[in-house]
Structure 1
Amino acid sequence: MNESMIITLAVLIIASMLFISGKVRSDLVAVGALIALMLCDILTPAEALSGFSNSVVIMMVGLFVVGGGIFQTGLAKMVSSKMLQLAGTNETRLLVMIMIVTSAIGAFVSNTGTIAVMMPIVVSLAMSAGTNPGRLLMPLAFASSLGGMLTLIGTPPNLVIQETLQAAGYTAVSFFTFTPVGLVCIVVGVLSLLFLRRFLPKNERNADDDRQGRSLLDLVQQYQLRQNLYRVQVGADSSVCGKRLHELDISAKHGLNIIEVRRKISTKNQFFKTINQEIAGSHTVIEEEDILYIHGPFENVQAFALESGLEMMDRRIPENKKAAGSEQYATEDVGIAEVMLTPTSRLINRLIKESGFREKYHVNILGIQRKDHYLLHNLKEEKMRFGDAMLVQGTWRDIARLATEPDVVVVGQPNEEARKVTMDNKAPIAAGIMGLMVLLLISELIPAVAAVMIAAVLMVAFRCVRSMEDAYKTINWESVVLIGGMIPMSIAIEKTGAAALLSDGMVNLLGGQGPLILLAGVYFTTSMLTMFISNTACAILLAPIALAAALQLGVSPYPFLFAVSVGASMCFASPFSTPPNALVMSAGRYRFSHYIKVGLPLQIIMGIVMVAVLPLFFPF
């Protein structure tokens, strides 16, 4: 064992201990290990930095952007609601359904591509079901690897052993030769995780959520907006048609407040925006077919509608015919927020009608919370007091600008709340882009990394992600740096001869113990090595060794090569062993210990089962 090998193994052991302890950020540990190997001249600077140009890392960046588009357009919410209808909110049924669906997709799409499709859907599904996403995301990652064993193209190690068999003159495996093995893997994986899920994060409310202010839906309910917001439509013969709001003086005459005007701007393409929202101002001109959002008592609204020739609309059915919720008050353009006056505010003890909120800040005040009471009507004559919480509506941009004013404090984070509002009209575009990505991944017409990057660029170009800045914010850089920093570790392990030493020692030690013991040695050596080097590199390294060992014993090489393929693919005990494991780490808020507690037992169980069943499918 040479000096370079000893240093490499020492760095690997120290890094693993730090990963397990969780006391140091995982990305910092990965970069630290990288620097240590470079300073010890085990890796050249080019080799040390090669992980950040690796196609897997670039794919991860693109997949985060694609996932952001699927989220922001509401596509994830739509698909998850359908799945929720099928499985209900029962966690067991959700887990089983997610793993089966993911495994089926993983049979034809790379495990990274499968995660790109499913992760935003599963996060949305968990939120809708009131479940911690961490309860479902690790099973999702594992299922994408399990499904890869169903077909020849499901995972790269399958192709590696096919090439090894062909090169040695054996009959190549067919597309579905792997299917029986894959089905066993899925059954074992699902049943095992039903027991091992007890070690996954519990359904605890995140303390950070309490510091962000109340959600949009909470505000709607607290201020009773559903009971006080009504819609009327302007007809051609209406007396208000063509007039400005200040000419009508609706507030003084009827005790009402027109807070918003929605106007049709296009009906040609349902994929693009067809409704224009405008915060009502004194100079707003009312036009035919406008929909006016009026805040006030129902009786007053009804009287105003009769007097002006307006059509009352069913407030339970918005113009897009969907069920009412917070979406009536907050969309991609317009939102609501709670604000409070600062102790030195110049607005204290001033009447709302004199405050200039609408004229200066372009927002409407919908309600006031004063201690335990809510003031919702005739607000213009109310004086603002220190300690009042006021609900305002305006464009997200104006609300964010309001947060910079010294007289008021905006509760919560308007920009973050704006990102939570989905752009439902863009969902068909996001679905088309995702479908194109899946088609390119299946057909292999272009490299997988190119397919993902094309999808990411299209998400930004078609505004499925609101802006380039938002695209960058969807990327979890900790995961990217973690994988980019750990990929060169596999180069060091191979370069110093540590991997070859281990594999050769296995053959020398177990070769005389019989085919079953050697099969177990091949499987678990592959499984252990995959924790530190990529599954493809591991299969390439061990496939010829397994073939040679089988030939030395005079037995069929098929079970040994399948042991290499399965062992290289079924690695669950480390977050950086496969891209899916790393991709779900941040979203599931996992620590390294979660992978040890859940993934390691699953990896061992899978190994025991595979050693037992592979000779049944492929006799010695």
Structure 2
Amino acid sequence: MIITLGTLALASALFISGKIRSDLVAIGSLVVLMLFQILTPGEALSGFSNSVVIMMIGLFVVGGGIFQTGLAKMASRQLLQLAGTSETRLLIMVMLVTSVIGAFVSNTGTVAVMLPVVVSLAMSARTNPGQLLMPLAFASSLGGMLTLIGTPPNLVIQETLQNAGYGSLSFFSFTPIGLVSIATGIVAMLFLRRFLPKNDEDGDKKHNGRTLKELARKYQLSRNLFRIQVGADSPIQTKTLLELNIPASFGINVIEIRRKTSAKNQFFKTINQEIAGPGTVIQEDDILYVNGTFEHAQRFAETYGLVLLDRQAPENQPPASAERYATHDVGIAEVMLTPNSRLIGQLVKQSGFREKYRINILGIQRKEQYLLHNLKEEKMRFGDALLVQGTWKDIALLAAEQADVVVVGQPVEESRKVTMDHKAPIAAGIMLLMVLLLITELIPAVASVMIAAVLMVVFGCVRNMEEAYKTVNWESIVLIGGMIPMSIAIEKTGAAKLLSEGLVGSLGGFGPIALLAGVYFTTSILTLFISNTACAVLFAPIALTAAVQLGVSPMPFLFAVSIGASMCFASPFSTPPNALVMSAGRYKFSHYLKVGLPLQLVMGVVMVAVLPYFFPF
């Protein structure tokens, strides 16, 4: 028992510190428990064959199909248009729509697909996106309480109840309590939104713009992007970019070359430098788009007898016409790194943006600072917003890669190119079939989810199996599979009985309500520091044993574990959705304390009060 509790304590400390990946901590815990023969190899690996883990994999694939076909974005856009420009109606609609989507897919995926839609809506309504993005993140967690598959802790307590002989929960067992959660969250946010960032008095100057012109102004492209034309007598004609070595000699980067393809076409065809390669030959009348200071661009032009088409522009000059930065083929967009992005900590030159997506990084916004020069040697950090340029097709490919980045600043009229809209009806039919199978219970729940996942791939809602694998958050899967056997060890060694006796001994004398409150708030506090899934896995057997010892139904106590583990709002780093909206909403840690902490406390009080009515002792 001492080894089990010590391993549990160490794992919890490592989860909280975040210095070691959570999946590695889970696997390490299994190894320790096997080495001390507390778990057999079969018991230690049983988590990876658990139906919860298999269902989670299937749900990730189904969610990927819903996102890649644009079904979630299309439905949310139509519903959100009903809100008009009223901030109150907009907040309520955002939270309602997000909650409904969050009932069927992961909260991280829900926020990833809704974030650009909500930012665009805020722009249209002349509302600060910060007024809506934190409610968006919170609503994605609230929506997970609506259905059995809404969030991993729901599946965890279902497994605990089944193993203890209490039967299984239905697909909509959570719905009544979920509706109360959503109603409580919306009402609370209507009062707490006063603490969220408001519109600046000077409006447009600091407005978080997302149109082409606003992005150009925000990143000062008129001051840092220059066009240089190659004349008939220029000595750089017939030379390659590699021979010229422009970045080293002049401190500027040639980000693209535009070349007229025919007299009938008024647009320039963009030839990306990386596509052409270092051996690209400069031709007469080419227009080089260079990124750098005016002085360096001018020196480059004078050295080789080139024509500098742009003059240095004052900072407050209105942005130039959009065609300088974008055509019907080429555009600019703003992207953000996701919390688990593989790009975090990498140098820009190692990111593979050019090699993989044929996209240039023009600038980086880091808090209130804009980095516009010498970007190749800059190391990317979480919270960075990147301004990128490429063809709309390539930007769409980048936007589909939601594991690493989320396209925030892509113009609304181009955002539809990201998804396979013609597959949306098929994805809707598959999702409806999955829900019907889960409701009717004609076949086991895990089979229903796996059938839906396979159909998503077969019918092309997920492009191929490689894309299907990419939709799965494998760190979460390994974490769940590794932590489930921990509950076996806790039960096997009597640790669950010891911990539950402590809860019963300290709170049981005050009645089941006091014990329920203790279970809920202990879980709610712990989930601020470790993942909701790990928290639910650890506390579910403890809550079950405590209820049995007190001689009452374990149902409300296990629901308290699931809800307490999922309702985590007081920290930006406690859940991926909270972290994902932090930079886009321009939030500080204090915003989460002022808004999230009161919401988390209010939610706890309401849940402790209503749980016994839905699930009597």
- 1:147-158 alignment to 2 at 5 Å? 147-148=146-147
Q: Which of 428, 449, 453 is residue 452 of structure 1 equivalent to?
A: 449
Check 1:588–1:79 CA distance in 2 against 1; reply closer, same or farther (3 A cut): same
2:477 is aligned with 1:480: yes
Scaled by the length of structure 1, the TM-score of the pair is: 0.54
Structure 2: 5+ residue stretches without partners: 123-128, 200-211, 223-260, 294-303, 310-323, 331-353, 360-387, 400-416
Structure 1: 5+ residue stretches without partners: 204-213, 224-280, 283-292, 298-328, 330-334, 353-366, 373-382, 405-410, 551-556, 576-580
Opposite residue 185 of structure 1, the aligned amino acid is S
2:2 is aligned with 1:3: yes
2:35 is aligned with 1:75: no
2:11 matched to which residue of 1? 12
2:560 is aligned with 1:571: no
1:343 CA drift (Å): 11
Q: Is 1:100–1:143's contact at 8 Å kept on the other side of the alignment?
A: no
Q: Which of 111, 125, 129 is residue 121 of structure 2 equivalent to?
A: 129
Worse-superposed segment, 86-95 or 463-472:
86-95
Q: Give per-residue Cα distances to partners, 1:512-553, cap 9 Å, x unaligned.
A: 345654554465567679967675885566456435525xxx
Opposite residue 476 of structure 2, the aligned amino acid is S
SS in 2 for 1:147: coil
2:547 matched to which residue of 1? 546
Check 1:525–1:160 CA distance in 2 against 1; reply closer, same or farther (3 A cut): farther
Check 1:451–1:118 CA distance in 2 against 1; reply closer, same or farther (3 A cut): farther
1:347 matched to which residue of 2? 281
SS in 2 for 1:570: helix
SS in 1 for 2:506: helix
SS in 1 for 2:462: coil
Q: Is 2:516–2:556's contact at 8 Å kept on the other side of the alignment?
A: no
Between the aligned partners of 2:20 and 2:478, the Cα distance in structure 1 is 14
Between the aligned partners of 1:436 and 1:65, the Cα distance in structure 2 is 15
Between the aligned partners of 1:390 and 1:533, the Cα distance in structure 2 is 47
Q: Is 2:520–2:608's contact at 8 Å kept on the other side of the alignment?
A: yes
1:142 matched to which residue of 2? 141
Q: Which of 418, 423, 430 is residue 433 of structure 1 equivalent to?
A: 430
1:495 matched to which residue of 2? 492
2:80 matched to which residue of 1? 84
Worse-superposed segment, 342-351 or 63-72:
342-351
Q: Is 2:145–2:181's contact at 8 Å kept on the other side of the alignment?
A: yes
Between the aligned partners of 1:521 and 1:544, the Cα distance in structure 2 is 14
2:56 is aligned with 1:64: no
Opposite residue 93 of structure 2, the aligned amino acid is M
1:177 CA drift (Å): 9.7
Q: Is 2:497–2:546's contact at 8 Å kept on the other side of the alignment?
A: no
Check 1:594–1:564 CA distance in 2 against 1; reply closer, same or farther (3 A cut): farther
Q: Is 2:95–2:139's contact at 8 Å kept on the other side of the alignment?
A: yes
Q: Is 2:111–2:137's contact at 8 Å kept on the other side of the alignment?
A: no
Check 1:594–1:427 CA distance in 2 against 1; reply closer, same or farther (3 A cut): farther
1:348 CA drift (Å): 1.6
Opposite residue 114 of structure 2, the aligned amino acid is V
2:421 matched to which residue of 1? 424
Check 1:175–1:10 CA distance in 2 against 1; reply closer, same or farther (3 A cut): closer
Q: Is 1:476–1:586's contact at 8 Å kept on the other side of the alignment?
A: no
1:82 CA drift (Å): 0.9
User: How many pairs were matched up?
Assistant: 452
1:86 CA drift (Å): 1.9
Opposite residue 74 of structure 1, the aligned amino acid is G
Opposite residue 6 of structure 2, the aligned amino acid is I
Q: Give per-residue Cα distances to partners, 1:3-36, cap 9 Å, x unaligned.
A: 32342233233223313xxx44444444444444
Check 1:427–1:599 CA distance in 2 against 1; reply closer, same or farther (3 A cut): same
1:79 CA drift (Å): 1.4
Q: Give per-residue Cα distances to partners, 1:103-161, cap 9 Å, x unaligned.
A: 5678xxxx555759955653453353364796355323421244359x9xx95699799
Between the aligned partners of 1:574 and 1:587, the Cα distance in structure 2 is 14
Check 1:164–1:603 CA distance in 2 against 1; reply closer, same or farther (3 A cut): farther
Scaled by the length of structure 2, the TM-score of the pair is: 0.54
Check 1:87–1:546 CA distance in 2 against 1; reply closer, same or farther (3 A cut): same
SS in 1 for 2:460: coil
2:349 matched to which residue of 1? none
1:608 CA drift (Å): 2.8
Opposite residue 417 of structure 1, the aligned amino acid is I
Opposite residue 429 of structure 2, the aligned amino acid is G
Opposite residue 190 of structure 1, the aligned amino acid is I
1:362 matched to which residue of 2? none
Between the aligned partners of 1:177 and 1:466, the Cα distance in structure 2 is 34
SS in 1 for 2:282: coil
1:226 matched to which residue of 2? none
Q: Is 1:67–1:116's contact at 8 Å kept on the other side of the alignment?
A: no
Q: Is 1:573–1:600's contact at 8 Å kept on the other side of the alignment?
A: no
Opposite residue 295 of structure 1, the aligned amino acid is N
Opposite residue 395 of structure 2, the aligned amino acid is E
Q: Give per-residue Cα distances to partners, 1:273-308, cap 9 Å, x unaligned.
A: xxxxxxxx99xxxxxxxxxx97339xxxxxxxxxxx
2:560 is aligned with 1:562: no
Which protein is bigger by CA-based radius of gyration?
A: 1
Opposite residue 429 of structure 1, the aligned amino acid is I
Check 1:51–1:343 CA distance in 2 against 1; reply closer, same or farther (3 A cut): closer
Q: Is 1:122–1:136's contact at 8 Å kept on the other side of the alignment?
A: no
Between the aligned partners of 1:30 and 1:202, the Cα distance in structure 2 is 42
Check 1:146–1:89 CA distance in 2 against 1; reply closer, same or farther (3 A cut): farther
1:605 matched to which residue of 2? 602
1:429 CA drift (Å): 2.2
Q: Is 2:516–2:608's contact at 8 Å kept on the other side of the alignment?
A: yes
Check 1:37–1:137 CA distance in 2 against 1; reply closer, same or farther (3 A cut): farther
Q: Give per-residue Cα distances to partners, 1:51-70, cap 9 Å, x unaligned.
A: 34433333333333333333
1:233 matched to which residue of 2? none
Between the aligned partners of 1:296 and 1:499, the Cα distance in structure 2 is 74
Q: CA RMSD in A?
A: 6.0
1:451 CA drift (Å): 2.8
Between the aligned partners of 1:482 and 1:157, the Cα distance in structure 2 is 13
Between the aligned partners of 1:116 and 1:69, the Cα distance in structure 2 is 15
Q: Which of 436, 442, 446 is residue 439 of structure 2 equivalent to?
A: 442
SS in 1 for 2:606: helix
Check 1:40–1:134 CA distance in 2 against 1; reply closer, same or farther (3 A cut): farther
Opposite residue 506 of structure 1, the aligned amino acid is L
Opposite residue 59 of structure 1, the aligned amino acid is M
Q: Is 2:101–2:110's contact at 8 Å kept on the other side of the alignment?
A: no
